[in-house]
Amino acid sequence: MLVDPAKTTELGRPVGPDSSLTSWEGEQWKTGGGCAWGWFSYDPDLDLVYYGTGNPSTWNPAQRPGDNRWAMAIVARDATTGMARWVYQMTPHDQWDYDGVNEMILTDQEVGGQKRRLLTHFDRNGFGYTLDRATGALLVAEKFDPSVNWAKRIELDPASPAYGRPVVDERYAPGTTGEDETVTGICPGALGAKNQQPAAYSPATGLFYVPTNHMCMDYEPFHVTYTPGQPYVGATLTLHPPPGTDRTGAFIAWDNLLGRIKWSIPEPFSVWSGALATAGGVVFYGTLEGYLKAVDAVTGRELYRFKTPSGIVGNVTTYMHDGRQYVAVLSGIGGWAGIGLAAGLTDPAEGSGAVGGYAALSQYTAAGGQLTVFALPEP
């Protein structure tokens, strides 16, 4: 990544000449992860490309002290030159495998009576971030899942030396307990409070519609040696619901300017499908049991459901053909949450704990693949 020490900024300040490699110990940066494997967004007026970077390696934080820049960051790069205009590291020294690669949703909204170019990002770490996408200014950073406990909050005081950083709860930090010790009850789990499943935005309501995971984990880091071509993980984990509930998902409406949940629909399993918001005030999403659901965009009231043959991990889409509108969804269980059922795995520890965490899923759906298309009433 091209960085200009004097011009590339983080939260309005130049990153400086020692911003990157010195945040790693020795040569660890060479095998340190931070890959960009998710979604890219582009603003043609600003000529900026936006994306997130993944977790640092290994998953054992004791082997890579420091902030591990620029893993776990939002990056805005000049599309013509490749130079980073601004960066923001959401989870310095990530200890939980909270990849920062989820989609960057670009919107133009009023903030304090002025039109602002915004970027909203729902990170696996459980915080929903709203930034000014032109400058990288941090406007909102709040928990979008109430079970999140690895950090108490994000420091939002610009005068604080810790501005923009998470206030980590050391009880849930594997780096505090050390290698070969298990930290229990970390929320969210490594699959995140939201994973690859994309959220949707409705200009009509000003709300974001977000499929979420309500899952925690027990995490034990261990020493690992890098060998090219071999897994380089360095931790074992198990997944489980938060205390006091057996539900592991929710579909929520989120106000990105206030950092608040407008409404929430609890689901028995993680919501692993993408969301679709329509101009007609209807929002669609799918569930791991295989239901396609339609809800009211303002209230969240369920309007319709249809049981497909298998769990839904794809995106709901809509299109026009010969003057008629259609809604389509591909069902076929899979993804991190459904890997046990899809691949026939039985060991609870397999799938980085997902097989055990979602063992009950086999009672509600089966493997398979089908495209289901619905025709809306003719106008």
**Start-to-end C-alpha separation, the chain:** 51
CATH of domain 9-271: 2.140.10.10
Residue 166 has pLDDT above 90, yes or no: yes
For residue 277, list its beta bridge partners: 283
Q: What is the pLDDT of residues 3-21, one digit of tens each?
A: 999 999 999 999 998 888 8
- Which DSSP string do the residues of 35-48 spell out, in sequence order? ---S-EEEETTTTE
According to the model, what pLDDT value does residue 357 have? 82
Of residues 253 and 336, which shows the higher confidence score?
253
Report the run of H or E that residue 290 belongs to, with start and end.
none
According to the model, what pLDDT value does residue 142 have? 99
Residue whose C-alpha is closest to residue 67's, from 44, 42, 47, 87: 87
According to the model, what pLDDT value does residue 253 have? 99
Residue 127 has pLDDT above 90, yes or no: yes
**pTM of the predicted structure, to 2 decimals:** 0.95
How much is the mean pLDDT over the chain?
94
- The answer to whether 104 and 75 have CB atoms below 8 angstroms apart is no
According to the model, what pLDDT value does residue 304 have? 97
- Domain borders along the chain are 9-271
Residue whose C-alpha is closest to residue 251's, from 307, 312, 330, 203: 312
Residue 379 has pLDDT above 80, yes or no: no
According to the model, what pLDDT value does residue 50 have? 99
Q: Which amino acid is at 92?
A: P
According to the model, what pLDDT value does residue 348 have? 81
How many Cβ atoms from other residues are within 10 Å of residue 22's Cβ?
13
Percent of the chain whose pLDDT exceeds 70? 100
- The answer to whether 88 and 73 have CB atoms below 8 angstroms apart is yes
According to the model, what pLDDT value does residue 306 have? 98
Q: What is the pLDDT of residues 196-233, one digit of tens each?
A: 899 999 999 999 999 999 999 999 999 999 999 988 99
Identify the band that residue 61 occupies on the pLDDT scale cut at 50, 70 and 90.
Answer: very high
| Residues carrying an active site annotation | 97
Residue 101 has pLDDT above 80, yes or no: yes
Q: What is the pLDDT of residues 322-377, one digit of tens each?
A: 999 999 999 999 888 888 887 888 888 778 778 888 888 888 898 889 999 999 98
* Residues ≥6 apart with Cβ < 8 Å to 277: 200, 201, 202, 209, 283, 297
According to the model, what pLDDT value does residue 38 have? 86
According to the model, what pLDDT value does residue 178 have? 92
Mean pLDDT across 153-172: 97
According to the model, what pLDDT value does residue 49 have? 98
